[in-house]
Amino acid sequence: MNLSICVSLSLFLFFIGLTVVLVRKEFLFILMGMEIMFNGAALTAVIGAQHWQDPFGQVLTLFIMIIAGVELTVSLLIVMHCYRTLKISNIDELKQLHD
Amino acid sequence: MNSLIWLIPGAPLIGAGFIILFGSLISAQICARMAALMVLISATLVLSLWVELLGQANTTVPNAILYHQALFSWMSIGDWKVDLSLTVDKISLIMMTVASSVGFLIHLFSINFMKDEQGERRYFFYLNLFIFGMLSFVMAHDLILLYLGWEVMGLCSYALVAFYYQKSHYAYCGRKAFVVTRIGDTALAIAIMVIFANFHSIELPQIATLIDAQQINPISLTLIGGLLIIAAIAKSAQFPLHVWLPDAMTGPSTVSALIHAATMVTAGVYLLIRFHPLFDQLPDLQLIIAFIGCLTAFFAASAALSQNDLKKILAYSTISQIGYMFAAVGVGAYGFALFHLIVHACFKALLFMSSGVIIKAYNEEHDIRKMGGLGQKMPFLRYIYLIGSLTLAALPFVTASYYSKDPIIAATYTQDFGFYLTALALLGALMTGLYSMRMYLMIFSGTPRSEIHPYAMSIGMKLPLTILAFLSITIGFIQTPWSWGPELLIPWLASDLGLPHLPHGAIDVTINLLGIAASLIGIGLACYLTPKELKHQQGLGNVAFLNQAWYIDALSMKWIVTPYYYLCSLCRVFIEKVVFFHVIESSITGMLITGHRSLSRSQAGLITRYLYFICFGAIGLLAYILMTIYPIHA
């Protein structure tokens, strides 16, 4: 398989995620965008593993998925509490520390 | 003896320190007595130096340093250091004698004179500090200590002129004295710096040797000389900068006697004498000094003619007499300048102290037209004051002033433009006789024109006056003209100061006769004019031009002080308000406000914006890393 096409795909995924994070204001969409970015990054690791015939990349991807799951739990918890206590679901309204 | 030199300026300093620290614990009278005792210690030590010195034979070595004591190293920078050391040579010995002895007599007089005045301790503190300043000034081995003494004197002069500071005019007079003499202080400071830049030394004997070696370029020498002249003019109240001295009479009369007659105002003369090797090489500057001196002698005598304030007459007479000293310095007759300085210190201290008593007797009345008739009530004071006035008038053959002033007038004739200098000096001498006797007659003769409260003088006040009156008569006989009597002072000083050029033969006799005539005519005119003035209420005291001292004070007020005020307000409006407030301050604050607004906008708390920053930062970092890994080769 052509390496550059694969890397372009992962880069494409990463930038889709980044665009979502940057453009959308809702917490949930941002979390989704971050997940997409994670996947893009993980895909790079897999591509690298395939390319160099090294299982380390696959292992790294598994770790990333686990960490992303754990991180997502925490983030979702924060988002839920934001919504419950502050009645906020939009990230731009989250500036209570600003004077 | 040598190890006790430090005590001469040290004792008054100890006294001043004690009074300022512990004075409030003891009574003011004890403070006063202690202050006088401290100056007595100095005076006794100085006199014992004389005794020891006159016992020795080898006093003819040129520029001999008689005593030298290095106390400690004051400051050291690298291998250059300033030692606090005291030196006594013949010139400074004479000045020390005048300062400590006359200073002691004035302290003694002040104990009773200043009794129960408000601020008595303050008075004696400053008086002691002043004696310290004067003695360290004349005993200084290097220019730094000399400058210290000079400034201490200026400070004490200011504080004592404004002694009765509750009256705003008196405080103003103190400020005026301080600010005007400040011009000279600045000039002296610059002169010291220029001297150090050229000679790489601040030690006075070394500077004198270097000047004699003639290796310094004449332009620097002229600059130093000019600055020293400005310093001396301001301190000694000579012609353009004399304006502070008549106003300095607002202090107690004893202060006028000590600071503004006997000692501090002669510091400028001493400074010029100290630097006489310099002026010996600069005849143009010498001529300027001589001209300033003669002009001042003439001008101040004419101004004193029509003063009605007793103390202002004495103030202008001081200016005039110091003018003669300047003239002597200018024509190279340094010895006679010192001689006249001694004589002047004696009779002017006498006159000022007596004037204090007179003013008290007339209940703080200063106007001599309202006095009169004091002769019957206070005969002792009358004869004392008569001696002082006649010495001021330089009555021939009897008084000391004749022996000191007439050689100066004669010496001026030997200089370039000698005729004009001598003419000015002789006219000054004539007017001196006139105003001094006018002052005496108006106070003591005739009938009282206002109420007299006879002031009982204690023995402590009579004694100093008697000693000074005695000296005013007798001290002249140590140096008589034409060798018909003892000649002690000038030959003794010749090893340090050289012999003055005096005219010979017929010219000498003529000038001397003219001097005698000037003095006698002046006294005679006074005896003729003063009763007339009192009778018609119209006379010398009404000549506005002379009464206002040629309007120089008013002119300097109008053309120097007022424009300076305008300059200041212009600076305030233009530089401070426009430049600082509007341009500099607003631009700086504007920049800062804009800067911190833009920075604070970046910290808006908007997470999306932070995300953008993170992204751009990451991209920038990546780009940088890529650029370093794969450099672009053009």
pLDDT digits (tens, 9 = 90+) for B215-242: 778 888 899 999 999 999 999 989 888 8
Q: Are B606 and A95 in contact (CB < 8 Å)?
A: yes
In angstroms, the CA B356 to CA B379 distance is: 16
Pick the residue from chain A with its C-alpha nearest to B605: A95
- Smallest CA–CA separation between B78 and chain A, in Å? 57
**Is residue A97 one of the residues assigned to a domain?**
no
pLDDT digits (tens, 9 = 90+) for B317-330: 999 999 999 999 99
pLDDT digits (tens, 9 = 90+) for B543-562: 778 778 788 888 888 888 88
Q: Are B611 and A25 in contact (CB < 8 Å)?
A: no
Surface of B (583-622) touching A: CB under 8 A? 603-608, 611-612, 615
Of A18, A92, A96, the CB nearest to B608: A92
Distance of CA B73 to the CA centre of its chain: 28
Chain B hits for A96, CB-CB cut-off 8 Å, are 605
Print burial letters for B557-583: b (CB count within 10 Å at least 16), e (below 16). eeeeeeeeeeeeeeeeeeeeeeeeeee
Chain A hits for B604, CB-CB cut-off 8 Å, are 95, 98
**Is residue A95 one of the residues assigned to a domain?**
no
pLDDT digits (tens, 9 = 90+) for B153-202: 999 999 999 888 888 899 898 898 999 999 999 999 999 999 988 888 88
**Is residue A99 one of the residues assigned to a domain?**
no
Give the three-state DSSP class for A90: strand
In angstroms, the CA A29 to CA B156 distance is: 85
pLDDT at B605 exceeding the cut of 80? no
- Smallest CA–CA separation between B632 and chain A, in Å? 22
List the one residue out of B240, B199, B236, B230 whose CA is nearest residue B216. Answer: B199
pLDDT digits (tens, 9 = 90+) for A21-54: 888 888 889 899 989 999 999 999 999 998 888 8
Distances, alpha carbon B88 to alpha carbons B59, B102, B149, B498, in Å: 13, 19, 15, 18
Question: Any idea what DSSP says for residue B140?
Answer: B
Q: CB within 8 A of B467, min separation 6: which ones?
A: B105
Pick the residue from chain A with its C-alpha nearest to B601: A98
Of B605, B611, B612, the CB nearest to A95: B605
Residue-range definition of the domain harbouring residue A85: 3-89
Our count of domains for chain A comes to 1
pLDDT digits (tens, 9 = 90+) for B26-77: 888 888 999 999 999 999 999 998 888 887 765 677 777 888 888 888 878 7
Q: Are A97 and B605 in contact (CB < 8 Å)?
A: yes
**For residues B306 and B363, is the Cβ–Cβ distance under 8 A?**
no
In angstroms, the CA B74 to CA B51 distance is: 31
Best residue in B601, B607, B609, B612 to probe A by mutation, most A CBs within 10 Å? Answer: B607
Dihedral, A55, A58, A60, A66 alpha carbons, nearest 10: -140
Structure tokens at B535: 């009778």
Q: CB within 8 A of B184, min separation 6: which ones?
A: B230, B231, B232, B233, B234, B235, B241, B268
Q: What angle do CA B98, B154, B346 make, to 5 degrees?
A: 20
Give the three-state DSSP class for B500: coil
Chain B hits for A94, CB-CB cut-off 8 Å, are 605, 607
pLDDT digits (tens, 9 = 90+) for B437-479: 988 988 888 888 888 888 888 888 899 999 999 988 888 888 7
Burial class, B448, CB count within 10 angstroms (exposed 0-12 / middle 13-18 / buried 19+): middle
**Is residue A94 one of the residues assigned to a domain?**
no
**Is residue A62 one of the residues assigned to a domain?**
yes
Q: Give the DSSP letter string of B185-251.
A: HHHHHHHHHHHHHHHS--BHHHHHHHHHHT-S-HHHHHHHHHHHHHHHHHHTT-GGGTTHHHHGGGS
pLDDT at A99 exceeding the cut of 60? no
Best residue in B601, B608, B610, B613 to probe A by mutation, most A CBs within 10 Å? Answer: B608
Question: Any idea what DSSP says for residue B68?
Answer: E
Q: Give the DSSP letter string of B278-317.
A: HHHT-HHHHHHHHHHHHHHHHHHHHHHHT--BHHHHHHHH
**Is residue A96 one of the residues assigned to a domain?**
no
In angstroms, the CA B318 to CA B246 distance is: 9
